[in-house]
Structure 1
Amino acid sequence: MNTILRPALVLFVLLSAITGIVYPFAVTGVAQSVFPAQAAGSLVVRDGVTIGSTLIGQNFTDPKHFWGRPSATALMPYNGGASGGANQGPLNPALMDAVQGRIEALRAADPGNTVPVPVDLVTTSASGLDPDISPAAAHYQAARVARLRNLPVEQVERLIDDHAKGRLFGLLGEARVNVLALNLALDAQPSP
């Protein structure tokens, strides 16, 4: 029995050390040396203060800012510790009510906007933390943001276009605009 148990125990300890200690430290070291910003969480720092991450959405509620996708995280919006979708199917009345309420809120914030509301402004993502919106969702909000900031709509539209990113390698994913980056660029615009 000892001849079977000893090699199994040694192998268990060895593999645990390799996969639980050596490998994570090696991967972390390579990531921090090759991709330091991404390994640190893609944090955005202004004046020495961390104000967010380009990877996690934030709860922008001021009508002078662009709004991101709704968050499905429990207790508080965009809670990174509670990532997860709402798991509501398309026929679920709760989902239908939530979407209708979001449409009404968008219409109330910009009553003159009669363009159809882009779906990503009224539905949550799978993680509930999506930092990006579609260019259509950003353009939908441009008139409201421009009006409340007393900026020309064309200037706000250019900002959106400047911050839009296409598909990865022209094939993967969808075109997108990072809401935090767009709002920071918007805040940097000189007031008229």
Structure 2
Amino acid sequence: MMRSLMIAIRSSVFLMILCGLIYPLATTGVSQVLFNKQAEGSLVSINGKIQGSELLAQGFKGPQWFHPRASAAKYDPKASAATNAAVASKEYIKTIKDNVNHLKKENDNIGTSIPADLVTTSGSGFDPDLSPEAAKAQVPRISQAKGISQDRLLSLINQHTKGRSLGIFGEPRVNVLDLNLALQNIK
């Protein structure tokens, strides 16, 4: 009995040190060396000032900016959350209708073909990317607010559109933070 107890204690201590100390330190060290930018959160900084992360959506207020997907967490990184509402639920349908009405009010000439990612939230509530179609749907509003031609804005979207990962995974996408930083630099 005592021998079994000592084996169990030694095994537990060994596994705690291995899994709780050595493994995390090793993976952190390797990630810092091989993937430093990603290990630090893929932060975007301009002139030494952090503007945000390529991996997290942030809200942009005002008609002069591209807006990201709606966030159930209100873009608060400490409160990652999805809505958890079923697609057929009254709550979900009301939320989508409210988002569509808000989008139409904000973008007078958006038409009837509204990209889904402009009115739905992502699973995490922090999806930093939009479909190129969702970005293009916002062009008339931004063009009017900033006094930049629609052709220039469409060109900007095309320049910042990333293709499928490895050519086959996912969909083409535009990072909203990168797009707005580029928009900020247009004189």
* TM bracket (short chain): over 0.9
Q: Within 5 Å, give how 1:65-76 maps onto structure 2.
A: 65-73=65-73
Q: Which residue of 1 aligns with 2:63?
A: 63
Q: Which residue of 2 aligns with 1:152?
A: 149
Deviation at 1:149, TM superposition (A): 0.8
1:11 aligned partner, one-letter code: S
Partners of 1:170 and 1:46 in 2: CA distance: 30
Q: Which residue of 2 aligns with 1:7?
A: 7
The percentage of counterpart residues that share the same residue type is 39
SS of structure 1 residue aligned to 2:78: helix
- Cα distance per residue 1:50-75 (max 9 Å; x no partner): 221111100112110000000011xx
Deviation at 1:113, TM superposition (A): 2.7
Is the contact made by 1:57 and 1:132 (CA closer than 8 Å) also made in structure 2? yes
Is the contact made by 2:72 and 2:83 (CA closer than 8 Å) also made in structure 1? yes
SS of structure 2 residue aligned to 1:82: coil
- Cα distance per residue 1:87-145 (max 9 Å; x no partner): 11111111111111111111111212325111000000000111111111001111211
Q: Which residue of 2 aligns with 1:96?
A: 93
2:182 aligned partner, one-letter code: A
Partners of 2:130 and 2:104 in 1: CA distance: 18
Residue 117 (str. 1) matches residue 88 (str. 2):
no
Instruction: Give the TM-score, by structure 1 length.
Output: 0.94
Aligned pair partner of 2:78 in 78, 81, 86: 81
In structure 1, list runs of 5 or more residues that go unmatched.
Answer: none
Q: Which residue of 2 aligns with 1:164?
A: 161
For the aligned residue pairs, the C-alpha RMSD in angstroms reads 1.0
SS of structure 1 residue aligned to 2:31: helix
1:12 aligned partner, one-letter code: S
Is the contact made by 1:72 and 1:86 (CA closer than 8 Å) also made in structure 2? yes
Is the contact made by 2:108 and 2:141 (CA closer than 8 Å) also made in structure 1? no
Partners of 2:89 and 2:83 in 1: CA distance: 11
SS of structure 2 residue aligned to 1:59: coil
Partners of 1:144 and 1:129 in 2: CA distance: 23
Partners of 2:135 and 2:8 in 1: CA distance: 58
Q: How many residues align?
A: 187
Partners of 2:43 and 2:100 in 1: CA distance: 31
1:141 aligned partner, one-letter code: Q
Is the contact made by 1:70 and 1:122 (CA closer than 8 Å) also made in structure 2? yes
Partners of 1:28 and 1:183 in 2: CA distance: 32
Is the contact made by 1:85 and 1:126 (CA closer than 8 Å) also made in structure 2? yes
SS of structure 2 residue aligned to 1:80: coil
> Aligned in 2, Cα 1:142/1:110: closer, same or farther, shift over 3 Å?
same
